[in-house]
Amino acid sequence: MIERTSTLLFVLFAVGFYSCTPSDRLTLKNGIWRGVLTIQGNELPMNFEINNSNGLRVYLINADERIEIDEGKIVGDSLYLPMHIFDAHITAKITETSISGSWTKNYEDDYSLSFEAVHDDADRFRNTTSSQTFSSKWRVTFIHAEDSDTTEAVGIFRSENNKMTGTFLTPTGDYRFLEGTASDEEMKLTTFDGGHAFLFTATTVSEDSIAGHFWSGAHWHETWYAVRDENAELPNLDSLTFIKESYDGLDFEFPNLDGDMVSLSDYQGQPLIISIFGSWCPNCMDETKFLKKWYDENKDRGIEILGLAYEAKPDFNYARGRVLKMKNKLGVDFNYLIAGTKDKEEAAKTLPMLNHVLAFPTTIFLDAEGEVKRIHTGFTGPGTGHYYDQFVKEFNETVDGLLND
């Protein structure tokens, strides 16, 4: 029902768009805007830029990241803004200098959050400061509010240009580009990539310890605490996912985007990189951008990449449409198979030789004989700085080893 409603909204906007004369259409002012999502009773501020020089272009801003959104439509005083590769959108009433509406995830029931924005306001948080109190490396523990499950992480925060930036690294991926403010006693960081909205807060407990909250979207909430520790590290991410002893190796057969069945044996005879991913997943977006650029530069070396897509719905046509949109938006030239849904327990059933599917993405490296040489859980993206550089270095070393065997 939600998917059908989203399609109807777009059709109505398209009809209205082409029936309006240019003078009937409002234009959002160029420049930096400040938006606010309301999540679980909290304000989540963000910034974005609007540029109308070549049609409506919106650029979501998170620290050093810019995400371009180029499919927005304005009809009269109404805005419809699809969120890049993600199955989400903003609908709103507008003036030249204001936006008032909601952000909706189309694939989830009753998932819509209030969204407001104003022009010419570059301050993510009011009275922005960047105290050095939180600029450090932290050993972090997240605690889920409902079941008390814990996740160990590493926090890296820095003060620069009167703002705080940084991220959290976890065994399943990082929290990407965070940006915010910090006084001597309190820090606030947010990110909004179109598909996900995160708000982190922290207060000082002692000189070397902090504690806070993490809110994600409409429902998720965790508390967290951290101790300053320049030696904090994650566990070995190559040890978390592995082939069970009772299996000889990896094997599967899934439909490609044309509906034809493809098996792993079809790739026998050349090294292969497999990405277990979903188009809904921001870390997967980061990995796909990396793999796209890497593949364009290295495909002539005799190695292939294959994506196994685990999407938000079991319907093949829905999954195919989401993967195709991501593939086209990011300019990806390698192949994808539709493998299942994003439920990790269900995903694990499609690859029973793995001990689990712990993270999207998970990357598997196979040699030309189809033997698994390495399985890397999660993705350490560009928001992590030198950790990303280290990932790229190790990735290339692994591929060189596969090609030199």
Question: What's the token pair of residue 80?
Answer: 């419809």
- The answer to whether residue 36 sits within a structural domain is yes
Residues 279 and 375 in one domain: yes
pLDDT band with cut points at 50, 70 and 90 for residue 24: low
3-class SS at 11?
A: helix
| Residue 258 half-sphere exposure toward CB, CA atoms < 13 A | 4
DSSP state at residue 4: H
CATH code at 220? 2.40.128.120
Residue with tokens 């959050």: 113
Q: What is the pLDDT of residue 9?
A: 52
Give the residue numbers spanning the domain of 86: 2-119
Residues 96 and 167 in one domain: no
For 284, list phi and psi in degrees, rounded to 5.
-65, -35
Does the reported pTM lie above 0.95?
Answer: no
CATH code at 286? 3.40.30.10
- The answer to whether residue 244 sits within a structural domain is no
- The answer to whether residue 233 sits within a structural domain is no
8 Å CB contact between 359 and 377: yes
Residues 259 and 386 in one domain: yes
Q: What is the pLDDT of residue 126?
A: 81
Q: What is the pLDDT of residue 2?
A: 42
pLDDT tens digits for range 215-240: 999 999 999 999 999 999 999 999 99
Residues 10 and 50 in one domain: yes
Residue 14 pLDDT greater than 90, yes or no: no
Instruction: Please give the sequence-ordered ranges of beta strands (E in DSSP) within 29-149, or none if there are none.
Output: 31-39, 42-51, 57-62, 65-69, 73-75, 78-82, 88-95, 98-105, 112-119, 136-144
Give dist(CA 264, CA 191) in Å, integer.
37
- The answer to whether residue 236 sits within a structural domain is no
Angle at 115 between CA 111 and CA 120, to 5 degrees: 155
* Percent of the chain whose pLDDT exceeds 90: 87
Q: What is the pLDDT of residue 141?
A: 98
pLDDT tens digits for range 316-330: 999 999 999 999 999
Q: What is the pLDDT of residue 18?
A: 42
The pLDDT mean for the chain works out to 93
Tally the residues of the chain. Answer: 405
Residues 265 and 400 in one domain: yes
Q: What is the pLDDT of residue 163?
A: 87
pLDDT tens digits for range 68-85: 999 999 999 999 999 999
Residues 101 and 137 in one domain: no
pLDDT tens digits for range 356-378: 999 999 999 999 999 999 999 99
Residue 17 pLDDT greater than 90, yes or no: no
- The answer to whether residue 18 sits within a structural domain is yes
Angle at 307 between CA 304 and CA 313, to 5 degrees: 165
The whole-number average pLDDT for the span 274-283 is 98
Q: Which is more confidently placed, 14 or 73?
A: 73
pLDDT band with cut points at 50, 70 and 90 for residue 7: low
Q: What is the pLDDT of residue 102?
A: 98
The whole-number average pLDDT for the span 385-403 is 97
The whole-number average pLDDT for the span 11-15 is 50
Q: Which is more confidently placed, 22 or 358?
A: 358
Q: What is the pLDDT of residue 145?
A: 82
Q: What is the pLDDT of residue 3?
A: 46
Q: What is the pLDDT of residue 137?
A: 97
Count of domains for the chain: 3
